[in-house]
């Protein structure tokens, strides 16, 4: 198996694992845990495990420059921790499929940020793709259905998560392949955990008894929805690049919708299904804008 094949397989498995997040988060929230408590239990398991593996297998690669350490500290403490909190909170107010589709508007935000801050020129294809994806979001939100009343809080949390994810990924891309994916994930996970403990630690967690079932859910989140998909995503970026990885990452949307349907009986009407197709199509068109532009020029 060559590196390209590994990249495609890694990105696909990563997206499917990420798509399971809503399933376990909703399950944990149903036991009375809030988002901060879920994340703390999850990272209590994740951080020691990842550092143990890093010391055993990647001992020579653990040491990074001060500049990279500071950058990872800022990314983990302020960007990725905000992604986790916003994403988990959104599941309290929205269906798994809707929360996921809104989070996956982050490529649109990356495009806008690139134009504003990196002075990237937007061609007609990119503008069209943004419009298509935006129209898809409107359909997913089902604003044309008079009986539908989605939570404004949930929408803001999901879009906030997308905003922080876009910012985080733009920063992470600058590392290239200087740091091994597992080591990179170890550092960011540590700083996310530090942020939650310092700024969001729920006092009730100190006085409440955590059941075995709650610990089991936290372990499932750590070993299914966090460690493998993060490491696989970073590896896929190194093998096939951030653009292709992001395109394949759209698999998370139907995966989340399917899991929501199977385990929670969440349903979507025809317009919302069309909306999902438009969002995925818009993002894929945007990611492949240069290729489409060349093809159209040859017609």
- Distance between CA atoms of 83 and 274, rounded to whole angstroms? 27
pLDDT at 120 over 70: no
Query: How distant is the alpha carbon of residue 129 from its chain centre?
Result: 21
| Residue 31 is assigned to a structural domain of this protein | yes
| Residue 29 is assigned to a structural domain of this protein | yes
Closest Cα to residue 92, out of 140, 26, 39? 26
| Residue 191 is assigned to a structural domain of this protein | yes
The domain total for the chain is 1
pLDDT at site 144 = 57
| Residue 197 is assigned to a structural domain of this protein | yes
Tokens (6 digits) for 2: 């060559």
Tokens (6 digits) for 79: 């960007």
Task: Indicate the range of 41-55, 81-95, 254-268 predicted with least confidence.
Answer: 254-268
pLDDT at site 46 = 96
**Which residues, other chains included, contact 153 with Cβ-Cβ below 8 Å and sequence gap of 6+?**
89, 93
**Which residues, other chains included, contact 173 with Cβ-Cβ below 8 Å and sequence gap of 6+?**
237, 242
Top-ranked range on mean pLDDT: pick from 35-39, 209-213, 217-221? 217-221
pLDDT at site 287 = 67
- Distance between CA atoms of 183 and 64, rounded to whole angstroms? 10
| Residue 294 is assigned to a structural domain of this protein | no
- Distance between CA atoms of 154 and 160, rounded to whole angstroms? 10
| Residue 132 is assigned to a structural domain of this protein | no
- Distance between CA atoms of 198 and 64, rounded to whole angstroms? 24
If one compares 145 and 268, the residue with the highest pLDDT of the two is 268
| Residue 248 is assigned to a structural domain of this protein | yes
User: What are the b/e assignments for 150-180, b being 16+ CB within 10 Å?
Assistant: beeebbebbbbbbbbbbbbbbebeebeeebb
- Distance between CA atoms of 289 and 286, rounded to whole angstroms? 5
- Distance between CA atoms of 240 and 162, rounded to whole angstroms? 23
- DSSP class of residue 288? T
pLDDT at site 54 = 94
pLDDT in tens, 182-203: 999 999 999 999 999 998 887 7
How many Å from the N-terminal Cα to the C-terminal Cα in the chain?
36
Q: Give the domain range for residue 195.
A: 3-125+150-269
Residues in the chain: 299
Rama region for 21: left / alpha / beta (φ>0; ψ in -120 to 50; rest): alpha
| Residue 168 is assigned to a structural domain of this protein | yes
């Amino acid at each position: 198996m060559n590196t390209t094949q590994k990249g495609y397989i890694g990105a696909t498995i990563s997206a499917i694992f990420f798509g399971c997040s809503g399933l376990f988060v909703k399950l944990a929230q149903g036991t009375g845990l809030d988002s901060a408590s879920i994340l703390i239990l999850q990272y209590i398991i994740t951080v020691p495990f990842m550092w143990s593996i890093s010391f055993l297998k990647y001992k020579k690669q653990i040491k990074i420059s001060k500049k990279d350490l500071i950058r990872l500290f800022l990314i983990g403490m302020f960007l990725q921790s905000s992604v986790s909190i916003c994403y988990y909170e959104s599941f309290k107010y929205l269906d798994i499929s809707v929360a996921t589709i809104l989070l996956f508007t982050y490529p649109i935000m990356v495009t806008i940020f690139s134009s504003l801050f990196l002075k990237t020129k937007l061609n007609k294809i990119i503008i069209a793709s943004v419009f298509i994806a935006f129209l898809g979001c409107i359909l997913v939100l089902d604003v044309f259905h008079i009986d539908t009343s989605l939570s404004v809080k949930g929408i803001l949390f999901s879009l906030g998560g997308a905003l922080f994810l876009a910012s985080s990924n733009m920063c992470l891309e600058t590392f290239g392949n200087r740091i091994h994916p597992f080591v990179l994930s170890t550092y960011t996970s540590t700083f996310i955990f530090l942020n939650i403990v310092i700024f969001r630690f729920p006092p009730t967690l100190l006085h409440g008894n955590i059941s075995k079932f709650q610990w089991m859910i936290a372990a499932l989140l750590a070993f299914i929805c966090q460690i493998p998909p993060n490491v696989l995503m970073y590896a896929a970026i190194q093998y096939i690049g951030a653009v292709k990885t992001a395109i394949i990452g759209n698999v998370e949307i139907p995966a989340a919708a399917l899991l929501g349907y199977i385990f929670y009986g969440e349903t979507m009407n025809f317009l919302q299904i069309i909306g999902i197709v438009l969002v995925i199509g818009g993002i894929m068109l945007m990611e492949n804008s240069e290729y489409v532009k060349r093809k159209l020029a040859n017609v």
